[in-house]
Amino acid sequence: MQIQKKEIRDKIIISATEVFAQNGYKGASLREIAKSAGVTAGNIYSYFKSKSALFEAVLKDTLIVASKFIADIPNEGPLTRQSVKNIAESITGFFLTNKSQFIILTLKAQGSKFEGVKEMMTQAISARLFKEYFSPYGYKDELLARAYAHSFFSGIIDIFVNYGEDEERLKGLVDDFTGLMFYTAPIFTPGRAE
């Protein structure tokens, strides 16, 4: 049995992150990851029992943050302009500390056991929106809140993918987008649904 070396393991994870970010889970191959890492495909199996295990290792820290985000959304107190802004800032902070992993988890996880994480995050946002924004104003169909949450989260992700690496621009775009989605929408005017 080969002795594992931390630097080789780290090199495999870095290469796997790049390949998964480019090709997604489904499109990535261990052969391609091995080539990028400068090791043999067989050597990868010395460190990870499968492509799925390697994918999980790439996303390990990001999954912890995503799980906390999903758990905390329903429990943050009443939705206000500030709390909505805090949610957007939280998602942005999550992205900025885990850019490649965030993109992999939300856009490139198809075919893996994590392909539903983006949907779970959207549903957490949707549940809050329905409970605190839509229902109090007379909107009884939860699909409306789900569509709104999907638009919000997909819009945020689109900004993340296309912002051009300028963090100040990113924060400004997210703030403006959040304002347009939540502060100016006529749907949140009391009595609108009546």
DSSP string computed for 65-76? HHHHHHHHGGGS
User: For residues 23 and 70, which has the higher predicted lDDT (pLDDT)?
Assistant: 23
What the block records as the tokens of 152 is 């919000």
- Give residue 76's pLDDT band: very low, low, confident or very high (50, 70, 90): low
d(CA 107, CA 95): 13
Mean pLDDT of the 103-130 span: 91
- Give residue 183's pLDDT band: very low, low, confident or very high (50, 70, 90): confident
What the block records as the tokens of 91 is 């998602």
What the block records as the tokens of 2 is 């080969």
Domains, the chain, ordered by start: 1-49 (1.10.10.60), 60-188 (1.10.357)
Mean pLDDT of the 157-163 span: 94
Helix (H) or strand (E) holding 131: none
What the block records as the tokens of 100 is 């490649």
Residue closest to 101 by CA, chosen among 59, 136, 142: 59
Determine the residue type at 178: T
User: For residues 4 and 160, which has the higher predicted lDDT (pLDDT)?
Assistant: 160
Under 8 Å between Cβ of 137 and 191: yes
CB atoms within 10 A of CB 169: 12
